[in-house]
Amino acid sequence: MEEEQKQELTTETDNNETSQEEVSPLRYNIPTSPRRGGSKKFFWFVLVLLLAGAIIGGFVLIGGQQKEEEIAPTPTPTEQPSPTPTPETSPTPTKKVTPSPTEKLSPTPTKKPTKGLSVKVLNGSGVTGAAKEASDYLSGLGYEIAGTGNASTTDFENTTIDIKSAKESLLPQLKIDLQTKYTIGTTSATLSASESADAVVTVGKK
């Protein structure tokens, strides 16, 4: 019996030793896995620090700019020199010059254009003043009046013209001038050369 107990004890001890030998490698050779939770916390900690630094830096920059704006010196207004008022000079009154009365010059009578023909007018109508009226009319046309008078008779119906042969070229114009006022009868270029006038006009009743 004792021997059986000894054998059992030896077998138990052997079993225990083998079990210890089998367990020992598990106890000492188990690989340790890295702590994932710790690395994540470290990552978030660094990220928070970076964000905080960026925010603080932004505030610092903004505050610096505001300080620069506040520190910028305000321009002091420079006093502009006020213009010196110039004394107003009153205009010197000028004397009015009264114009001296100028003598009115009477216009020089212009000579009427002459026809280059002297005419004697005779009254053959018997009407008083007929020769004077005809002479004034011819004078107004530019004829030179050599004289007026009465004809030998007063029975002339129409006005007649007698002219010297040397002045015959002027007969047509004299006739035209008289026709506007009188009825012309006979005309001739046989006036005597001894006659003082170049032509003799005898005024008739018409």
pLDDT tens-digit profile, the chain (206 residues): 444 444 554 444 454 444 444 444 444 444 455 555 567 788 888 888 888 888 888 777 877 666 666 655 566 666 666 667 666 666 666 667 666 656 555 555 445 556 789 999 999 999 999 999 999 999 999 999 999 999 999 999 999 999 999 999 999 999 999 999 999 999 999 999 999 999 999 999 88
Contacts of 163 (CB under 8 A, 6+ apart): 170, 171, 174, 187, 188, 189, 191, 198, 199, 200
Q: What is the pTM of this model?
A: 0.46
Of 85, 89, 154, 145, whose CA–CA distance to 121 is shortest? 145
In the chain the domains, ranked by start, together with CATH numbers, are: 118-200 (3.30.70)
d(CA 16, CA 9): 10
d(CA 199, CA 31): 174
